[in-house]
Structure 1
Amino acid sequence: MSTPDTPKKVPQFSALKLTPAPAHSDCCASETCAPQVESVLPADGQRYSWVINGMDCAACARKVENAVKQVQGVNHAQVLFATEKLLVDAASNVSAQVEAAVAKAGYTLRDANAPAEKTSPLRDNLPLITLIVMMAISWGLEQFNHPLGNLAFIATTLIGLWPVARQALRLMKSGSWFAIETLMSVAAIGALFIGATAEAAMVLLLFLIGERLEGWAASRARKGVSALMALKPETATQLINGERKTVPITALRPGDVIEVAAGGRLPADAALLTAAASFDESALTGESIPVDRAAGEKVPAGATSVDRQVQLTVLSEPGDSAIDRILKLIEEAEERRAPVERFIDRFSRIYTPAIMLVALLVAIIPPLLFSAPWEGWIYKGLTLLLIGCPCALVISTPAAITSGLAAAARRGALIKGGAALEQLAQVQQVAFDKTGTLTVGKPQVTGIYPLDIGEDALLALAAAVEQGSTHPLAQAIVREAQARGLNIPTASAQRALMGSGIEAQVEGQPVLICTADKFPAPQLTQQIHSLEQAGQTVIIVAENNVAKGIITLRDTLRNDAKAAVDALHQLGVNGVILTGDNPRAAAAIAGELGLEFRAGLLPADKVQAVTELNGQTPLAMVGDGINDAPAMKAATIGIAMGSGTDVALETADAALTHNHLTGLAQMISLARATRANIRQNIAIALGLKGIFLVTTLLGMTGLWLAVLADTGATVLVTANALRLLRRR
Structure 2
Amino acid sequence: MAAEVDNALKLRVEGMDCGACAIKIENGLKRLPGVTEIKVNYGLEALSLVLDEDRTSRSSVEDRIRSLGYTPHLMPDEGADAEKNSTGDRGVSDRAWWQTRKGQLVIGAGVLLGLAFIIATVVPAIAEWVYLAAALFGILPILRRAIAGVRHGTPFSIETLMSIAAIGAVALGESAEAAIVVFLFAVGEILENVAAGRARAGIESLMKLVPRVARCERDGAVTEVPADELGIDDIVVVRPGDRVPSDGEVIDGKSELDEAPVTGESVPVLKEAGSAIYAGSINANGVLRVRITRTAADNTIARIIHLVEDAQGSKAPTARFIDRFSAYYTPAAMAVSAFIMVVPPMFFGAEWSIWIYRGLATLLIACPCALVISTPAAIASGLAAGARRGLLVKGGAALEILGKVRTVAFDKTGTLTVGQPRVTDIIALEGDEAELLAKAAAVEGGSSHPLGEAIVEEAAQRGLELPRIFGGAMAIPGKAVTARLRDGFVFVGSPRYAAEQGDLTPELSSRLETLEAEGKTAVIVLSGKRPIGVIALRDEPRADAASGLARLNALGVRTVMLTGDNRRTAGAIARELGLEAKAELLPDAKLAEIAKLHEHGGIAMVGDGINDAPALAASSIGIAMGSGTDVALATADAALLKNRVMGVAELVGLSRATLGNIWQNIALALGLKAVFLITTLTGVTTLWMAILADTGATVLVTVNALRLLRFRGEDAHQGASGDRLNKNGAVDAHVPSQELHQTGRGT
Query: Could you say which TM-score interval applies, normalised by the shorter chain?
Result: 0.5 to 0.7
Given that residues 450 and 550 in structure 1 are in contact (C-alpha distance below 8 angstroms), is that contact kept between their aligned partners in structure 2?
Answer: yes
Find 1:677's aligned residue among 654, 661, 665.
661
3-state SS, counterpart of residue 453 of structure 1: coil
Does the 8 A contact of 1:435 with 1:441 survive in 2? yes
Verify: 1:623 aligned to 2:607, yes or no.
yes
1:67-96 CA-to-partner distances (Å, cap 9, x unmatched) read xx88999769xxxxxxxx866359xxxx9x
| Contact kept? 2:131, 2:176, Cα under 8 Å | no
Q: Shift in Å at residue 386 of structure 1?
A: 0.8
SS of match in other structure, 2:343: helix
Mapping for residues 405-420 of structure 1, pairs under 5 Å: 405-420=383-398
**Take 1:515 and 1:14, find their aligned partners in 2: how far apart are those partners?**
54
Paired residue for 1:123?
120
Q: 2:510 aligns with which of 512, 526, 530?
A: 526
After TM superposition, list the pairs within 5 Å mapping 1:567-646 onto structure 2.
567-646=551-630
Question: Is the Cα contact below 8 Å between 1:429 and 1:618 reproduced in 2?
Answer: yes
Q: Distance in 2 between matches of 1:493 and 1:168?
A: 76
Structure 2 length normalisation: TM-score?
A: 0.58
Question: 1:376: how far off?
Answer: 2.4
Q: Residue 515 in 1 paired to residue 486 in 2?
A: no
CA distance in 2, matches of 1:711, 1:338: 35
Is 2:362 the counterpart of 1:389?
no
1:250-276 per-position Cα deviation (integer Å, ceiling 9, x unaligned) = xxxxxxxxxxxxxxxxxxxxxxxxxxx
Aligned-residue CA RMSD in angstroms?
Answer: 4.3
Distance in structure 2 (CA, Å) of the matches to 1:42 and 1:340? 15
**Matching of residue 483 in structure 1 with residue 461 in structure 2:** yes
Residues in 2 aligned to 1:614 and 1:417: alpha-carbon distance in whole angstroms: 22
Q: Is the 8 A contact 2:110 2:183 kept in 1?
A: no
TM-score by length of 1: 0.59
Partner of 2:270: none
Correspondences of 1:381-460 after superposition (within 5 Å): 381-460=359-438
- The AA in structure 1 aligned to 2:660 is A
2:138–2:182 Cα contact (<8 Å) kept = no
1: distance between equivalents of 2:488 and 2:539? 31
Aligned to 1:282: none
Residues in 2 aligned to 1:163 and 1:461: alpha-carbon distance in whole angstroms: 80
Among 670, 673, 691, the residue aligned to 1:707:
691
Deviation of 1:346 after TM superposition, in Å, equals: 5.2
Counterpart amino acid of 1:474? G
Deviation for aligned residue 1:185: 6.9
Task: Return the offset for 1:42.
Answer: 5.0
Deviations 1:625-674 (A, max 9, x none): 11111222222211111111122122212111222222111111111212
1:535 aligns with 2:519: yes
Describe the shift of the 1:727–1:539 C-alpha distance in structure 2 as closer, same or farther (beyond 3 A). same
1:584-632 CA-partner distances (Å, limit 9, x unpaired)? 3222211221111122222222222222112222211111111111222
Give the Å deviation of 1:503.
Answer: 1.9
- CA 1:588–1:169 in structure 2 vs 1: closer, same or farther (change >3 Å)? closer
Q: 1:692 to 1:466 in 2, by over 3 A?
A: same
Amino acid across the alignment from 1:544: G
- 2:709 is paired with a residue whose SS is helix
Kept after mapping to 2: 8 A contact 1:422/1:675 = yes
Give the counterpart letter for 2:543 in structure 1.
N
Q: Kindly, what percent of the aligned residue pairs are identical?
A: 48
Answering whether residue 682 of structure 2 is matched by residue 698 of structure 1, we say yes
For 2:187 and 2:70, the matched residues in 1 are separated by: 36
Matched-pair contact (CA < 8 Å) for 1:338–1:420: no
CA distance 1:570–1:40, change in 2 (3 Å)? same
Distance in 2 between the 1:174 and 1:633 partners?
33
Matched, 1:88 2:67: no
C-alpha contact 1:338 1:419 (8 A) present in aligned 2: no
Go from structure 1 to structure 2 and tell me whether the alpha carbon gap of 1:578 and 1:715 turns closer, same or farther (over 3 Å shift).
same
Higher RCO (CA-CA < 8 Å; seq separation 6+): 1
Q: 1:366 to 1:86 in 2, by over 3 A?
A: farther
User: Which residue of 1 is the match for residue 447 of structure 2?
Assistant: 469
CA offset at residue 359 of structure 1?
2.4
Counterpart in the other structure of 2:721: none
Distance 2:649 2:630 in 1: 23
Report the Cα distance in structure 2 between the residues aligned to 1:364 and 1:465, rounded to whole angstroms: 94
Whether 2:695 is the aligned partner of 1:716: answer no
1:345–1:394 Cα contact (<8 Å) kept: no
Deviation at 1:211, TM superposition (A): 7.6
> Which amino acid counterpart does residue 611 of structure 1 have in structure 2?
A
Q: 1:479, CA displacement in angstroms?
A: 0.9
Q: Contact 1:180 / 1:389 at 8 angstroms: preserved in 2?
A: yes
Contact 2:131 2:179 in 1 (8 A): no
* Aligned partners of 2:170 and 2:178 also within 8 Å: no
* CA 439–166 in structure 1, closer or farther in 2 if over 3 Å, else same: closer
**Cα contact 1:74–1:88 (8 A) shared by 2:** no
Deviation string 1:432-456 (CA, Å, 9 cap, x unpaired) is: 1111111111111112111221221
Query: 2:132·2:175 contact (CA, 8 Å) conserved in 1?
Result: no
Can you list the C-alpha shifts for 1:507-552, whole angstroms capped at 9, x where unaligned?
Answer: 1512122222332321412222222222222111111211111111
Measured in 2, the distance between the counterparts of 1:703 and 1:38 equals 46
Does the 8 Å CA contact 2:166/2:178 hold for their aligned counterparts? no
1:339 and 1:630 map into 2 onto residues whose CA distance is 17
Kindly indicate whether the alpha-carbon contact (under 8 Å) linking 1:610 and 1:631 is maintained by their aligned counterparts in 2: yes
Judge conservation of contact 2:320–2:397 (CA < 8 Å) in 1: no
SS of 2:665 mapped into structure 1: helix
Letter aligned with residue 510 of structure 1: F
Counterpart AA for 1:390: P
- Are the equivalent residues in 1 in contact too, given 2:411–2:612 (CA < 8 A)? yes
1:499 maps to amino acid:
G
Q: Using a 3 Å threshold, how does the CA distance of structure 1 residues 75 and 213 change in structure 2: closer, same or farther?
A: closer
**1:561 positional shift:** 1.3
Q: 2:478 aligns with which of 499, 503, 509?
A: 499
Render the CA deviation track for 1:334-384: whole Å, top value 9, x for unaligned. Answer: xxx997753532553664455345324422332233221233222212211
- Paired positions, count: 492
1:459–1:125: structure 2 CA closer, same or farther, 3 Å change rule?
A: same
- Corresponding position of 2:158: none
Could you report, residue by residue, the CA deviation over 1:26-66 in whole angstroms, capped at 9, with x for unpaired residues? xxxxx9xxxxx99579599xxxxxxxxxxxxxxxxxxxxxx
Label 1:538 to 1:578 Cα distance change in 2 as closer, same or farther (>3 A). Answer: same
Distance 1:174 1:713 in 2: 27
